[in-house]
Amino acid sequence: MQEMNADVIVVGAGPAGLMLAGELGRGGVRAVVLERREKPGTAQKASGLGGRILDVLRYRGLLDRMTEASGDPSPKPIFPFGGVYLDFTGLDENPLHAMAIPQARVEELLAEDAVELGAQIFRGHEVVAVTQDDEAVVAEVNGPDGTYRVRARYLVGCDGGRSRIRELAGIGFPGSTYPEVNRLAAVAVHESVTVLDDGGIDVPGFGRIAPGFTHTDNGIFALGAVSPETRVMFFQTTEEEDAEYDSDEPLTMAELGDSVRRVLGSEVPLGEPTRLSRYQFQDRQAENYRCGRVFLAGDAAHLLPATGAAMNLGMTDSVNLAWKLAADIRGGAPANLLDTYHDERHFAGGRALLQTRAQAALRQGQDPAAQALRAVFQELLTDEPALRRMGALVAGTDLRYPMPGTHSLTGTFAPDMPLHTDQGATSVAELMHAARPIFLDLADRPDLREIVEQWAPRVEIHTAKTGDRPADAMLIRPDGHIAWAATLDEQTDTSTELRAALTQWFGA
């Protein structure tokens, strides 16, 4: 049987798999992406990016590509949350940025980036078996020209909620499927429908439907504010159903219209659609994100019971994992570095499950008690501190990995700052484009730079000045998280803590 070699096998060419392939390329690692579908997906699944992943894309120099491809790179900052709304329009600074861009377009751009960085993408190639030993992992693949094998150091399953790789690795996936079906559409408002000043609509024979959630005895009709200029109506129906649908089976206008009639008890004239999709919520998390040389990322590792988080969470899984795999393959990485992937991303997945489970609890129930809960929760969100806290939780920007260290920045995502160096002006985001570890000296401490030089060239050293610096020095991992930080004074000896952090993340 024919055999080919790679550094890492990535199974699945969705957002998580393609982001992983690109990140591996930045780390100098050869990735082979195996996708069972013959053509790139066209199903209208996720409709945008939001939260921390936008910062990550900017730190990689990819955000401009996404912005150019987006129909709405800065949508109005109002987001549904379990039957209520997070409305950030009154805040000076929005804690939850978003970008409207179809998942299929995101995948196309990530594939371009991965190929530019040396990845190979094979479509119509299905992994049917996986074996591993102390040296390598081998995938048996059914391709268009027959069966063959791929041998690599590691394999990552990014093959979705029904992951074959997770099954082959014997990793448990506990959780539940919610007995409801959601049908989502963006359609041109029919000429017989009046768009109201508040963004609602007036339907002949039915009456006014306000933006937000309309709860009926048969389900929920969720309406986004309709723009008088574009007259595009973005809405969703939610009904309790025990049936399971094939995610590849497209939603039709006839099925959508039937659902609207059941929920509202009336016909709503619908124009031409620009988006149709159907999805069901699941609440699951893999018991372990690693089994030997096999890892899981994206939906293969977690499924969330609310929209707007899964694609972003999966892509940040990949950013966390890629630099660790690359460091191990290049040599010199600490022995337990790969174990930190499960520790950190299982923790991050738990945070995402926390807020999406809360959304599920809020949206369920139509009795007076459930309605009162939503009303009270919405009232609490008029308080700015509570609103900001919820925004950070949904965005994932409040994530702090548990790490040794005394500084409050340790474990958090490095803030972007304008920097002034001997070579000119730059920023933290620009320094992170190459996905390299960075020691950033903002207080001109040659004694600390001398310590870090012992880890060169594994760690880049940059001396710079910035206004209102959050710390005097920071050690930033390739994924943008701070491994060590310190605010220094003449009495503080931080050299021991700095050496420990360098050894922990970048080897002896």
Could you tell me the residue ranges of all domains in the chain? 3-72+98-175+284-364, 179-280, 418-506
Neighbour tally for 339: CB within 10 Å: 13
Mean pLDDT value across residues 61-79: 91
CB 237 within 8 A of CB 221: yes
Q: By mean pLDDT, which of 15-24, 34-43, 421-430 is the weakest?
A: 34-43
Distance (Å, rounded) from C-alpha 344 to C-alpha 483?
Answer: 13
What pLDDT is stored for residue 504 in this prediction?
96
* pLDDT at position 55 over 90: yes
Q: Which residue is it, tokens 């912005």? A: 67
Residue with the larger pLDDT of the pair 277 and 481: 481
Does the pLDDT value for residue 429 go beyond 60? yes
Percent of the chain with pLDDT over 90: 71
Per the CB < 8 A criterion, the answer to whether 398 and 392 are in contact is yes
DSSP-derived secondary structure letter, 300: G
pLDDT range class, residue 492, cuts 50, 70, 90: low
- What's 418-506's CATH class? alpha beta
10 Å Cβ neighbour count for 115? 16
In angstroms, the CA 358 to CA 306 distance is 9
Can you tell me the mean pLDDT for 176-192? Answer: 88
Average pLDDT over residues 327-332: 94
Residue 70 has pLDDT above 60, yes or no: yes
Q: What is the pLDDT of residue 444?
A: 92
Mean pLDDT, range 191-219, rounded to an integer:
87
Q: Among 140-154, 183-197, 332-346, 406-420, name the one with the lowest average pLDDT.
A: 183-197
Q: What is the pLDDT of residues 282-300, one digit of tens each?
A: 999 999 999 999 999 999 9
Structure confidence at residue 500 (pLDDT) = 94
**CATH code of the domain occupying 179-280:** 3.30.70.2450
* pLDDT tier for residue 42 given thresholds of 50, 70 and 90: low
Section 249-278 average pLDDT: 88
Q: What average pLDDT does the structure give for the chain?
A: 92
Write down the residue that tokens 């730059």 correspond to.
426
Determine which of 208-212, 293-297, 500-504 has the lowest per-residue pLDDT on average.
208-212
Domain topology for 3-72+98-175+284-364 = FAD/NAD(P)-binding domain (3.50.50)
Q: What pLDDT is attached to residue 422?
A: 84
Most confident of 242-246, 248-252, 443-447: 443-447
Identify the band that residue 46 occupies on the pLDDT scale cut at 50, 70 and 90. confident
Q: Does residue 358 have a pLDDT over 90? A: yes
pTM: 0.91
Average pLDDT value for residue range 240-267: 85
Q: Which of 5-14, 400-409, 469-478 has the lowest mean pLDDT?
A: 400-409
> How does residue 227 score in pLDDT terms, banded at 50, 70 and 90?
confident
Q: How far is CA 335 from CA 325, 327, 339, 503, in A?
A: 12, 11, 9, 11
pLDDT at 277: 85
The whole-number pLDDT of residue 490 equals 55
The CB-side HSE value for 471 (13 A sphere, CA atoms) comes to 22
Q: Does residue 491 register a pLDDT over 60?
A: no
- Does residue 142 register a pLDDT over 70? yes
